[in-house]
């Protein structure tokens, strides 16, 4: 895109700096981390570990790219973790119920389960979007509320017990399957991210999201319908969270209300923010958020391999997130002024 054009012109260090500003230091950090870990621990580049990293990074990247979209539009989605859990238990429960009613009809069982899972994602997204866009409640408060309510529904459905009874085709043939040496989750994540990148760059929806996050009043003046697009961001975010829930369910083989949760929600916000999505809205690209999700996953993996106390790990996440936002603000301050 445009960055490529600018980079091609040999025009002194300012351009290099602006590119670094746009992508951030993330790729460099990522390479450094991978190189460092490979040197320290050969276990790190073992196939099992790499597949493990990719699988987890994929799940986080899907959730984070939805989260990024909401933040670009100037909102926040705290409910994603809870939606992962709800989609998981609803999918599993629906499959188990359908299997009892129509034994052997695998296609119907899987379709109904996936539809139910995605459906509840859409439902939560619509509730979030409606409350933010129509009732003008702040996104933070709305999604805090739906997070609590959604998690409660998930627990009520399962009473905290994992839900089994999904067809083998779904678990072994999909969730734990590999194609071209990569787990299903990776393929789904790549597809989801490609669609999101396309939506951000090439569609009216993506452009209007940037405009709304950049300056909502200017967007109104320009004849952009605000409410529809804000609802859209929340629906996409919840839908992607639900997709992640279904992937997790297929991989583990049971629906659990403990999937996702606060940790997933925090990590998705961290990945978005570290990936250069400005919490002030209007700025951020999904592909960098995906790299950022990969980075966070590798970091967690590295800390595990290095036997860092698991209670210490959230501290790393917190420090890195605040540092990323601080860097963002610093560069903004240097840019403005005149």
Partner 1 sequence: MHLPPLNRPPEKPMDTDIDPQLVPPLLRLRGISKRFSGVRALDRVDLDVRAGELHVLFGENGAGKSTLINLVSGTFPPDEGTFHFAGDAIHNFTPQRARAIGISPVFQEFSLVPSLTVEENLFLGREVARSGVLRSGQMRKRARALIDELGFDLDPSRRVDDLSRAHQQMAEIAKALLGKIRLLILDEPTASLTERETGRLFELIARLKSQNVGLIYVSHRMREIRALADRVTVLRDGRHIRTLDAATSTDGELVELMTGRKIDLLFPTIAHEPDKLMVDIENLTLTDGSVCDVSLHARAGEITGIAGLVGCGKSELIRAIYGIEPTASGTIRIDGAPYESPAPRRSLKRGIAYFPANRIAEGLALSRSIRENASMTVLDLPAFARFGILRQAVERTRIAGIMAQLQLRPPNIERPAGALSGGNRQKVMLGRALTRELTVFLFDEPSVGIDVGAKLEVYEFMKRLVEAGAAVIVVSSELPEVLALSNRLYVMHHGRIAAELTGAEKTEQNVLSSFFRDHLTAEVA
Query: Footprint of partner 1 on this chain (CB under 8 A)?
Result: 2, 6, 14, 17, 201-205, 207-208, 210-211, 213-215, 217-225, 278, 280, 282-283, 334-338
Tokens of 254: 């049971």
Min dist CB 148 to partner 1, Å, is 28
156/204 with CB nearer partner 1: 204
50/224 with CB nearer partner 1: 224
Q: Are 67 and 269 in contact (CB under 8 A)?
A: yes
119/214 with CB nearer partner 1: 214
Min dist CB 331 to partner 1, Å, is 9
Distances (CA, A) of 213 to 40, 72, 131, 175: 43, 6, 18, 36
Q: Which residues contact 236 (CB under 8 A, 6 or more apart)?
A: 66, 69, 125, 196
12/47 with CB nearer partner 1: 12
Phi, psi of 12 (to 5 degrees): 75, 180
Q: Which residues contact 263 (CB under 8 A, 6 or more apart)?
A: 81
Q: Are 68 and 83 in contact (CB under 8 A)?
A: no
178/225 with CB nearer partner 1: 225
Min dist CB 194 to partner 1, Å, is 14
Distance CA 266, CA 67 (A): 10
Q: How close are the terminal C-alpha atoms of the chain, in Å?
A: 28
Tokens of 316: 């790393």
Min dist CB 23 to partner 1, Å, is 16
Question: Three-class SS of residue 255?
Answer: strand
Min dist CB 324 to partner 1, Å, is 17
Closest CA to 261 of 141, 120, 154, 114: 154
203/310 with CB nearer partner 1: 203
Min dist CB 337 to partner 1, Å, is 4
Min dist CB 21 to partner 1, Å, is 10
- For residue 182, the cross-strand partners are 179
103/337 with CB nearer partner 1: 337
């Amino acid at each position: 895109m445009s960055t490529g054009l600018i980079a091609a012109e040999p025009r002194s260090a300012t351009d290099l700096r602006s590119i670094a500003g746009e992508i951030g230091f993330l790729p460099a950090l990522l390479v450094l981390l991978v190189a460092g870990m490979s040197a320290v621990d050969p276990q790190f580049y073992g196939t099992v570990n790499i597949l493990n990293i990719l699988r987890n990074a994929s799940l986080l990247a899907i959730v984070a790219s939805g989260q990024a979209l909401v933040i670009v539009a100037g909102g926040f989605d705290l409910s994603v973790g809870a939606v992962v859990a709800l989609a998981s238990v609803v999918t599993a429960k629906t499959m188990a119920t359908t299997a009892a009613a129509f034994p052997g009809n695998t296609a119907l069982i899987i379709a109904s389960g996936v539809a139910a899972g995605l459906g509840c994602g859409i439902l939560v997204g619509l509730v979030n979007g409606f409350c933010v866009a129509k009732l003008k409640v702040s996104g933070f408060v709305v999604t805090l509320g739906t997070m609590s309510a959604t998690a409660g529904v998930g627990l009520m459905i399962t009473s905290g017990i994992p839900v089994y009874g999904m067809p083998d085709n779904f678990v072994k043939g999909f969730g734990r399957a590999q194609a071209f040496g990569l787990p299903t989750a990776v393929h789904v994540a790549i597809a989801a991210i490609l669609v999101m990148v396309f939506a951000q760059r090439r569609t009216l929806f993506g452009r209007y999201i940037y405009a709304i996050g950049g300056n909502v009043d200017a967007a109104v003046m320009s004849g952009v319908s605000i409410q529809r697009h804000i609802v859209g961001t929340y629906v996409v975010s919840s839908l992607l969270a639900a997709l992640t829930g279904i992937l997790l369910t297929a991989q583990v083989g049971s629906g659990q209300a403990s999937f996702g949760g606060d940790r997933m929600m925090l990590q998705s916000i961290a990945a978005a923010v570290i990936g250069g999505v400005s919490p002030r809205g209007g700025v951020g690209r999904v592909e960098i958020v995906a790299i950022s999700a990969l980075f966070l996953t590798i970091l967690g993996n590295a800390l595990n391999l290095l036997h860092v106390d698991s209670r210490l790990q959230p501290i790393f996440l917190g420090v890195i997130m605040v540092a990323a936002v601080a860097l963002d603000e610093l560069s903004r301050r240097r840019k403005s002024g005149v």
